[in-house]
Structure 1
Amino acid sequence: MNMDQVLRDLIPSLKSSAKSCHEALAKSTPEFINPENGLSINDNLMQLGSAVKDAREAIWHLKHITSHLLIQRNASPGFLINKLPNEVLAMVFCEASRIGPITMFAIAHTCSRWRHLAFRTPYMWTTVDLRCFKPRNTAYSFTQRVGVLHPKLAHMILTLSKDSPMSVYYPDTREMNKQGFLIRTLDVVMPSILNRLVEMIITVGAQYATRIPCVLETTPAPVLRKLSLKILDNPCHIFKRLFAGETPQLKTLRLSSCRLPWNDEAYPASLEELIVDEGFDLWSEEFPYQSEDEFEGVPVLAHLNDPRYALDRTVASALQKLQRLRTLKLDSCSNLACGISNRDPVQPASLSKLRSLKLRNGFADSVAVLTSLSIGKISTLLIRSDAKTRGEDNTVPTLS
């Protein structure tokens, strides 16, 4: 691919889009009909929207060739990317920083112009990807086995991002850093950005899971929209709450090897997607907890009078206020039948917007969930009973 030719094709597109935007704005007047071109404000706004769309498409193409641009920039100082205006370069930098975990640092060390522009673009530093490269021989390279971002680099990102919204990623499942960088980096990152955290996708081991409640349970996250949390080597953890119960904008919540209590205070009303995979499957060979009685064969956690279930009330109460919920998935979850019985049935939660329901639990527990819901239109319904999520009697609630 000829990068110079690609850029030569894109620059006129960007200039044309910018010109169209200026023209559309200039032609828009408070009057219903613009006397200059005879078009209504709505028509002029449509022109503006079309111009913005063209500009976005051009930037989208730039994003996909960013890696080539960065490589060839060093190889050829006269490369055409240097002819892009600062505003366009800043857009490229912002997109590039989301592609690779260390790209933002590469940009900042390319040349003085790029460095000054990068340091003046806070939005470029809004992604903290805790994955980082590892040295191989004497050269640094991206590999499948990644390390963890050093705490000092994490602090640098937080400083340069100023007050911009932040996203944190560490989705790796098994690559734990032996030097403790992950724990130290999280200790730097988490407390300082929760007030501007918009997205977090993170996997942590039991070593840090014991310290998570200090941060995730007690500190509000007022602008958080998406949270995906997985805990390794310590499944079936139950948080008392998340972010002090103050996440008014949270739309997506995905919990793996952990869950929140089944009560009306644990889940925010703003949720549109709720996925919980607690990992509580007594049939699974990976279930780590031993039985208290070798002959009984039932782990302590399977007894419903275990203290870990003290905050559970009913699944219906947990879901009742989630009126925006569109996707619900409960996989290998414990104590789903809490608070219900054939003698004293609970009032089902009415979820009129729910369109996808997936259950994978013990048969009795899945029936208990269905009993707790009142659903209108639904497009996807999947029920599997190949997990054992109850250690005591399997009395099936009445399904009506």
Structure 2
Amino acid sequence: MSTLGIGVIGCGNIAMTYLRNAALFGGVSLRACADVMPEMAALRAQEYGIRALSVEALLAAEDIDLVLNLTIPSAHFDVTMAALRAGKHVFTEKPLATSAAAGRRLVEEAQKRNLALGSAPDTFLGAAGRHARHLIDGGAIGRVVTGTAFMMGRGMEHWHPNPAFYYQPGGGPVLDMGPYYLTMLVNLLGPAHRVMAMTTSGAAERLITAEGPLHNTRFPVGTPTTALALIAFANGATVTFGASWDVYRHSNASIELHGTKGSLRLPDPDTFGGAVSLSDHGGPWQDQSSDDWAYGQINWPFAAPDRANYRMLGVADLAASLRAGRAPRASGALALHVLEIMEAILTSGETGAPVAITADARQPLVLAEDEAKSFLT
């Protein structure tokens, strides 16, 4: 198919970024949207000139080839499975599902039906991730031996008016933010095969300080809010990964990798651009801008842009993969492997024992600059 007709299910805040960015890419066409709150679907439909439908009608629509699943994590499995059973390709927001067992069922369903399944994050396909992959694959730091990856902050209750769902099973900093960091590491190092971790929570309850009807109320915490893990990768590298919503301030780099010839520092993997810094044999850090690479230019937030956000890139790559007869790079299989790593972190933190990751997984195919540019309109 020359153009992939897209129907969006889930019209909340993240949908606005996807819907706006869709205009950047060729080979995809927004056609309809749906939400459990019909008024939200009607609003997005009016904003972007598409049809507002019920979920059932969207899944039945003949001009919808792919369902973009932007629902909350607890609904990811049900919506994705329903779309696959309706014969639609799917790209879902992260995580693929709230358990590896559920994620595995989705991957198997897509394979059985010969449908494409993709999942966020696609940030590793951005300028900084591709630049870092180019440097590592080219031997800029030699064989990667070790590294660190840290996602640390104070959580969601200071800005989100109803943040309790972030702190329940299926949420927490590992499952909510871990996909960005772990997907980037798998992109750079290949699959992981063993995890050891410790987990804890800073408080049994959280106080909502964001403005809104729940301001100054408390809610219980049902999942660890701090995790520290050692992840062994099949290529021999061992990386420390920390995820926490119990930290006021820190000075840890988002990702640093250290090899036999030098070190590499990456920007926040929740964005598509930023400078990659290289230290050759212990020399000073040399910042290498990725602004001139595809998907590195600052474009978000819309009113006062200060970072690069090209969400929909993974959908564009999936559309291209269907035309080329290959697997998508931000694939369901990759998302399942990352989900297994995250589940292993939580399991190891609970049991105190190491967890082996045995499922077959592959490093994503390199996205060259020429092909990356070909996705643009």
The TM-score with structure 2 as length reference comes to: 0.25
Larger Rg: 1
Query: Which one scores higher on RCO, CA 8 angstroms, separation ≥ 6?
Result: 2
More strand by share: 2
The TM-score with structure 1 as length reference comes to: 0.24
